[in-house]
Amino acid sequence: MNDKTCLVTGATSGIGRATALALSTMGYGVILLGRNDDKLKKTGRHLKLKSGNDRIGACPCDLSEMAQVRAAVVRLKRDYDKIDILINNAGARFLRHALTTEGLEMTLATNHLGHFVLTLGLIEVLKRSAGPRIINVSSGVHFAGGVIENILSAKDYDGRQQYANSKLANVLFTYALAERVGGTGITVNAVGPGGVATNFARNNGWAHWLKHRMYYLSKRQLLTPAQGAEPLVFLASSEDVGGVTGKYFVGKTATMTSRLSYDTEAQERLWAESVAWGGIDLSPSSPGAREEGRSTGHRVN
């Protein structure tokens, strides 16, 4: 056992569940974050049984709803003195256009904005750790990403393109945040786990889900959830990457990302837009104001 605690989003299935199991088996305390309270309870019982580790907590939260994310931040700050590792894993692809109750396009809200608001809200809790780490799960699909927008009209929506855009947002956010928290001890990295046999894309119907699986099967690249979780567990636990930050990993190797992902103007534009889309408080005394201050180049002290 060790005294480190890891928060995993999208922790009730797929890569997130496999990551949580691996880390709990290694003795880490694990906080499961997911939308469905029943699934969180079931996953928590499963992890305790399989790992023999009772340090399993849960935080119900729909990452597409920023009000719920802010409420989750309040609960997490109340319940935990520190969080050592934040794994922003949750993600989804929506082929059909949909808006959240807050007027945000569902793919952008789920895959990027929720993690943006969650991460900034937990920076102070992470800073209390010795060697805190943030891991953002992206995808090789980010190479196809382009303009990142909150698309309000169904006629302007392309589900596959918006998914690629959201995965590019994960990388842009990783690089921008790594720059801002430089000197604080927090490391920030992204990872592309590859094609994994999970329930991903099943919300779009069985045909689309099967097509997604068959694509990776045909390339002999379909991984089990445990295999897909390996690079996340590596980035969360290995001493080999203890001081590594601002990188994108495929497997256990840092590699180059798309040309656009290194565009600092694109990084800053996304940061400013995410502050606005996420409804981050910009009053002088608020944590949100301090985060926005960093978008002009200031570091966290």
H or E element at residue 58? strand 56-60
Distance, CA of 283 to CA of 212 (rounded, Å): 44
Distance, CA of 87 to CA of 138 (rounded, Å): 11
Distance, CA of 218 to CA of 208 (rounded, Å): 15
Per-position DSSP letters for 246-291, written without gaps between them: SEEEETTEEE---TGGG-HHHHHHHHHHHHHHTT---STTSHHHHH
15 within 8 A of 232, measured Cβ to Cβ: yes
Helix axes 114-127, 287-294, angle to 10 degrees: 100
107 within 8 A of 162, measured Cβ to Cβ: yes
* Beta bridge pairs of residue 8: 32, 87
Task: Tell me which of 163, 215, 216, 248 is the catalytic residue.
Answer: 163
**Residue 163 among the catalytic residues:** yes
- Enumerate the active-site residues: 163
